Structure 1
Amino acid sequence: MASIAPAWLWAFFVVSVIVALFIDFVVLKKQGAHAVGVKEALNWSLVWVALSFAFNGLFWWAVYQDHGMEVANTKSMEFLTGYLIEKSLAVDNIFVFLMIFTYFAVPPAFQKRVLMIGIIGAIVLRTVMILVGSWLIAHFHWILYVFGAFLVITGIKMWWASGQEPDLESNPALRLLKRFMPVSKGFDGEKFFTVENGKKIATPLLMVVALVGVTDVIFAVDSIPAIFAITTDPFIVLTSNIFAILGLRAMYFLLAAVAAKFHLLSYGLAVILVFIGTKMLLIDVVKIPVLVSLGVVVAVLAITMVWSVKTAPRLPQRTADSAASWPTAS
């Protein structure tokens, strides 16, 4: 499928992602295992968002040079809408990551490395899935209706599941991993394997990484069709997805601090999925403008977050104080 982006912008994007990941890895190695505080998470989140908007500005300029202002405005709006959709759907990822870390009692100092590995896996996985999805849409237009129906069903299921505590113990992926992978009782630093009774076995940290990987696959299946409802341009689909993922680690530590306050956010995400799925189902009947889609996404997120804060249950003082003292979940 053809893209409106020039070849040099594709190359610039690839180099930018490699450089960003390299810097992140260097910083990660230099800092070593440590708990990420809210201030650090906020600073990194702002950096990733700023880089995403700067890239969108460069994208606008590149399209403007070749196709004029009207097309540039439309395409940059598509990037922004896709970025916000993927960023909002990533919130559900974060709540699942928080559940996994809590279940395995992962020390705060080790969580950053697990998330970094998960981000690398997500980038590779989504790149492959997006390229395959773009090829399918280019050759089989009817696949858009399948994506649309899938999103509507997923949104409805998410709505009904909202407010229910997920049972990780009954998770089939976890049960399968436990069956084939002997696991030590405790952590051995940031190691994925340790030796017990003369045998090399996995540590709980390897189980956590495996579950994070499974989660990436599940949420990629949900989120990638959503961006195709906004645009079928593979460059916009890929770049908006990857930039949303790059800031996932910082956003995790930031949102983990206020997870309890956004208890209604999953309802908003469900509404967004149903809206996007409906838009995709009506793609050949009614063309919903990108600006309208962006407005709906922003409005639903804003209303849900404000309503969540207003109706958030008050924590006991002792719990609130102890949470505030834990850098990664305060």
Structure 2
Amino acid sequence: MFEISGLTWILTIGLIVLLLAVDLVSAAVRPHRVGFREAAAWSVFYVLVAVAFGIWFMSAYGGSYGAEYFAGYVVEKSLSVDNLFVFVIIMTTFAVPEEHQHKVLTFGIVLALVMRAIFIAVGATLLSLFSFMFLIFGLLLLYTAVQLFRHRNEDPDVENNVIVKTARRVLPVTEEYVGGKLVTRIDGRRFVTPLFVVLVAIGGVDLLFALDSIPAVFGVTEEPYIVFTANAFALLGLRALFFLVKGLLDRLVYLSAGLAIILAFIGVKLILHWAHVDIHKSVPEVSTPVSLGVIIGILVVVIVASLVKTSRDPDAKAHAGSLRGHSADRGQS
């Protein structure tokens, strides 16, 4: 029987908090433009930490649960790349200076972890109480997959996001970034800076991605500890990955389509699991090794096909994808 002790939970959360603290301190103490070598070193470090954790977890709890962790990590890592697309759009839309992007990303990661921890707790409780939640999660992922595929050649409309528009309307905002401050005083009056609005936009994006990613990872494992660690280790490397690949993101022209297919596959997997449990045991289920193979296979095909496409058509540009169309409002993408 799979059981995680309280001490293991505490040590795991402590490790994640420690790694986050390193990011926060480096962003606050030494704001700077992150170069390729630094980003590559941090990216490799976080991947090695995630792999080392997976190896320990597999040796301690068995190959089956280890496979679930790695499958969950791959799912979350692939979804996090799409998250990076939106971060790039936000940074560009609000012209965030490079020396402050590190701070924005670290905040986004911390907020994403908090939101996903809440959704994991709620999702695990619902799944343990109501088996039909597997059907609900599956249908939610299928809907998300269809919408993402339909609008795969569009980008989220950050400026017209209801949260951002509300923040701009109700709060006095300065024109300048004021040295990376969130709040400042001008002539005795308190203002928020554009960096505050950027963090609001990042928070809204984190909420949307949490709503999609948690059902997706529950599609490969039902264990809250695995869901949490897969999310945490995938997100921890997001800041370094942003600076490493932001120049290459435009070349992943088929990423949104690939992610839509992955979400649809996991949605079908969840529905089959629900049918197997609630309808009849004869309904087949998709095993974790098969899931891992399919997800990795889709990602490999997407990356290779994207690079081939952009090598033949240099003008081709990738998009983050959107869950609703807005081309009519701002012109075709």
Could you state the TM-score of these two structures normalised by the residue count of structure 2?
0.88
* CA–CA separation in structure 2 for the residues paired with 1:197 and 1:23: 36
Listed one character per residue, the Cα deviations across residues 121-177 of structure 1 (whole Å, up to 9, x for unaligned) are: 111111111011101100111111000000001001000111124332322222111
- Whole-Å Cα distance in 2 between the matches of residues 182 and 172 of structure 1? 17
Alignment partner of 1:222 out of 212, 215, 225? 212
Match of 2:32 in 1: 34
Distance, in Å, in 2 between the alignment partners of 1:60 and 1:7 is: 19
* Bigger shift: residues 271-280 or 127-136: 127-136
Give the Cα–Cα distance (whole angstroms) in 1 for the partners of residues 155 and 129 of structure 2.
41
Shift of residue 3 of structure 1? 4.7
* 8 A contact 2:184–2:190 mirrored in 1: yes
Coordinate RMSD, CA, aligned? 1.6
Question: Percent of counterpart pairs with the same letter?
Answer: 37
**Secondary structure at 1:194's aligned position in 2?**
strand
Residues 169 and 14 of structure 1, relative CA distance in 2, 3 Å threshold = closer
Alignment coverage as a number of residue pairs = 306
Partner of 2:320: none
Which runs of 5 or more structure 2 residues have no equivalent in the other structure? 277-282, 317-333
2:104 is equivalent to residue 104 of structure 1: no
**Residues 167 and 14 of structure 1: CA distance in aligned 2, closer, same or farther (over 3 Å):** closer
- Per-residue deviation, 1:219: 0.3
**Equivalent runs, 1:16-35 vs 2, <5 Å:** 16-30=15-29, 32-35=30-33
| 2:65 partner amino acid | K
Residues 158 and 201, structure 2, Cα contact 8 Å, conserved in 1: no
Per-residue Cα deviation, 1:171-194 (whole angstroms, up to 9, x for no partner): 222211111112111110110112
Give the match's secondary structure for 1:164: coil
Alignment match, 2:50: 52
Distance 2:36 2:214 in 1: 29
Equivalent pair of 1:227/1:237 in contact (CA under 8 Å):
yes
Measured in 1, the distance between the counterparts of 2:7 and 2:159 equals 48
Alignment-mate amino acid for residue 302 of structure 1: V
Equivalents in 1 of 2:56, 2:245: separation in Å?
Answer: 29
Moved more, 74-83 or 159-168: 159-168
How many Å apart are 1:76 and its aligned residue?
Answer: 0.3
Task: Measure, in 2, the Cα distance between the counterparts of 1:165 and 1:297.
Answer: 24
In the alignment, structure 1 segments of 5+ residues that lack a partner are: 64-71, 317-330
How far, CA to CA, are the matches of 1:222 and 1:84 in structure 2? 15
Mapped contact 2:24–2:103 kept (Cα < 8 A) = no
Please report how far the alpha carbon of residue 18 of structure 1 lies from its aligned counterpart in structure 2 after TM superposition: 2.0
1:195 alignment partner, one of 154, 163, 185: 185
1:157 to 2:157 alignment: no
How far off is 1:197 after superposition?
4.1
* 1:51-70 deviation line (CA, Å, top 9, x unaligned): 0111111111221xxxxxxx
